[in-house]
Amino acid sequence: MRPGSDPPSRPYLFYKSRMHLNHASKLLNLISNQQKKGGNMKKLTFILLGCISALLISSQSFAETTMSQEGQYIFNSLGFYLGGVLVAFMAAGFCMLESGLVTTKSVSTIAAKNIGKFAICSLVFFLVGYNLAYGVPEGGYLGSFTIWTDSSDAETGYSGYSDWFFQTMFVCATASIVSGAVAERIKIWPFFIFAAVMAGIIYPISMGWQWGGGWLASGGFSDFAGSTLVHGCGGAAALAGVIVLGAREGRFGRKGEKKSMQPFAASSIPLVTLGTFLLWFGWFGFNGFSQLAMGTFDDVNAISKIAVNTHLAGAAGTFTGAAITRLIGGKTDIVMMLNGALAGLVAITAEPLTPGPITAMFIGSIGAIIMYFGTKMLESYGLDDVVGAIPVHMFAGIFGTLVVPLTNPDTSFGTQFIGTASVCIFSFGLSWATFRILKSTVGLRISKAAEKLGTDKAEVGVTAYSIRD
DSSP letters spanning 354-386: SS-HHHHHHHHHHHHHHHHHHHHHHHHTT---S
CA-CA distance, 384 to 390, in Å (whole number)?
Answer: 10
Nearest CA among 222, 266, 265 for reference residue 415: 222
Q: Contact at 8 Å (CB) between 348 and 308?
A: no
pLDDT for the residue numbered 262: 55
What predicted TM-score, i.e. pTM, was given to this entire model? 0.85
How far is the C-alpha of 219 from the C-alpha of 139, rounded, in Å?
Answer: 8
The alpha carbon dihedral of 20, 23, 27, 32 has a sign of positive
Q: In this structure, what DSSP letter does residue 102 have?
A: S
Q: How far apart are CA 49 and CA 42, in angstroms?
A: 11
The predicted structure's pLDDT at residue 259: 64
Which candidate, 62, 58, 49, places its Cα nearest to that of 11?
Answer: 62
The amino acid that residue 76 corresponds to is: N
Q: Closest Cα to residue 215, out of 142, 133, 141?
A: 141
CA 258 and chain centroid, separation: 32
For 231, other C-beta atoms within 10 Å of its C-beta total 32
pLDDT of residue 2: 39
pLDDT score recorded for residue 263: 62
Q: Please, what is the angle between helix 160-181 and helix 233-245, to 10°?
A: 30
Q: Got the DSSP string for 40-62? A: --HHHHHHHHHHHHHHHHHHHHH
Residues of the chain short of pLDDT 50, as ranges, are 1-24, 27-28, 30-31, 37-39, 41, 44-49, 51-65, 468-469
Asked whether the beta carbons of 308 and 357 are under 8 A apart, the reply is yes
Q: How far apart are CA 232 and CA 428, in angstroms?
A: 10
Q: Tell me the domain boundaries of the chain.
A: 20-64, 74-458
Q: What topology does CATH give the domain 74-458?
A: Ammonium transporter fold (1.10.3430)
Which pLDDT score is estimated for 251?
87
Give me the pLDDT at residue 111, please. 97
**Measured distance between the N- and C-terminal CA atoms of the chain, rounded to whole angstroms:** 59
- Please state, in angstroms and rounded to a whole number, the distance separating the CA atoms of residues 268 and 175: 23
444, 436 Cβ separation under 8 angstroms:
no
C-beta of residue 106 within 8 angstroms of C-beta of residue 188 = no
Within its chain, how far is the Cα of 292 from the centroid?
Answer: 14
CB 376 within 8 A of CB 325: no
Helix segments in 412-447, DSSP class H: 413-440
Q: What is residue 252's predicted lDDT score, i.e. its pLDDT?
A: 86
Partner residues linked to 258 by β-bridges = 252
Per-residue model confidence (pLDDT) at position 110: 97
